[in-house]
């Protein structure tokens, strides 16, 4: 996997693509939290925290949380390996990996539609959580390896940090540009920072809207709303197939 090791750069996607993926991550995270008894599959940090807390509270839900964490890790390794193999064989990995995420989300949604989990120990809920976590693990690697210069779409802690950093950098760049408007370097720096800030802001907003939409969909439609995430990533797969034609 030579190109993977060397960090091959792919063309950056349009800004709406990572924003849409962030929307999906927020949507799925809220769905699993509400339907699967407090499980986080996109923000895995949350599952670490709740699993740790359940060691003290002696809650039997720790099995599902631990399974989701392991599934997330497994999916990241499998996705990275598939991307490396496709690059070594000269294939465009993005459509295939988005299709892979769509498949994982379809299984996740199918398990939820098969019947609402009766409890935190219900095997259907645990399996649904496993595939939801795998989908988000795959998405994390897709963004990391195939979308050059794009922050993570399902880890908002780092994005909030970057949002603050880029806001400060924008103010500094604006002041330099104002002092010496004839300096082209200052102008380029200002617009470069502005572009980075716009990307991370779009991702943060996408996640927030996705989380809100997921909560509303669950409240109004119940588990029937889960396939929306499948449809969104499926549409992104079609975009990835057609983008070079």
128 and 117 Cβ atoms separated by less than 8 Å:
yes
Average pLDDT (212-238) is 97
* CATH no. for 13-242: 1.20.1250
- pLDDT bucket at 48, cuts 50 / 70 / 90: low
- Give the separation between CA 138 and CA 143, rounded to whole angstroms: 9
pLDDT of residue 24: 98
* Residue 121 pLDDT exceeds 90: no
Which one is predicted more confidently, 7 or 143? Answer: 143
Specify the higher pLDDT residue, 108 or 149.
108
Predicted confidence (pLDDT) per residue in 74-95, tens digit? 999 999 999 999 999 999 999 9
Q: What's the confidence (pLDDT) of residue 11? A: 76
Give the per-residue pLDDT at 6.
46
What is the helix (H) or strand (E) element at residue 109, kind and residue range? Answer: helix 93-113
CA distance 101 to 233: 7
Share of the chain above pLDDT 70, in %: 91
- The residue extents of the domains of the chain are 13-242
Report the C-alpha gap between 214 and 40 in whole angstroms: 13
* Structure-block tokens of residue 140: 């994390």
Residue 2: what pLDDT? Answer: 41
pLDDT at 200: 96
Lowest mean pLDDT among 37-51, 112-126, 165-179, 225-239: 37-51
Over the range 126-162, which residues count as b (16 or more CB within 10 Å of their CB) and which as e? bbbbbbbbbbbbbbbbbbbbbbeebbbbbbbeebeeb
17-44 pLDDT, tens digit per residue, is 999 999 999 999 999 999 998 888 888 7
For residue 57, what pLDDT is reported?
A: 62
pLDDT for 126-178, tens place per residue?
999 999 999 999 999 999 999 988 999 998 989 999 999 999 999 999 999 99
- Average predicted confidence (pLDDT) for the chain: 90
pLDDT at 38: 84
Task: Indicate the pTM of the whole model.
Answer: 0.90
Q: What are the helix (H) ranges across 58-90? A: 62-88
- In the three-class reduction of DSSP (H, G, I as helix; E, B as strand; rest coil), residue 41 is classed as coil
């Amino acid at each position: 996997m030579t190109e993977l090791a060397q960090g091959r750069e792919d063309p950056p996607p349009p800004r709406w693509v990572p924003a849409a993926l962030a929307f999906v991550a927020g949507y799925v995270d809220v769905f699993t939290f509400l339907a699967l008894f407090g499980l986080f599959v996109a923000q895995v940090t949350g599952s670490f925290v709740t699993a740790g807390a359940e060691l003290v509270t002696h809650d039997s839900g720790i099995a599902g949380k631990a399974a989701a964490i392991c599934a997330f890790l497994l999916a990241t390794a499998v996705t990275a390996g598939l991307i490396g193999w496709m690059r070594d064989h000269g294939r465009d990995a993005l459509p295939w990996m988005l299709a892979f995420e769509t498949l994982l989300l379809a299984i996740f949604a199918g398990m939820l539609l098969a019947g609402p989990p009766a409890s935190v120990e219900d095997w259907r809920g645990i399996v649904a959580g496993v595939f939801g976590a795998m989908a988000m693990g795959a998405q994390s690697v897709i963004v990391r390896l195939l979308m050059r210069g794009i922050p993570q779409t399902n880890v908002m802690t780092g994005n909030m940090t970057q949002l603050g950093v880029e806001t400060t950098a924008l103010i500094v760049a604006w002041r330099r540009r104002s002092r010496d408007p004839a300096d082209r370097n200052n102008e380029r720096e200002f617009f470069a920072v502005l572009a980075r800030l716009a990307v991370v802001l779009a991702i943060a907003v996408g996640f927030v809207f996705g989380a809100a939409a997921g909560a509303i969909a669950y409240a109004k439609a119940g588990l029937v709303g889960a396939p929306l995430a499948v449809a969104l990533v499926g549409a992104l797969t079609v975009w990835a197939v057609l983008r070079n034609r």
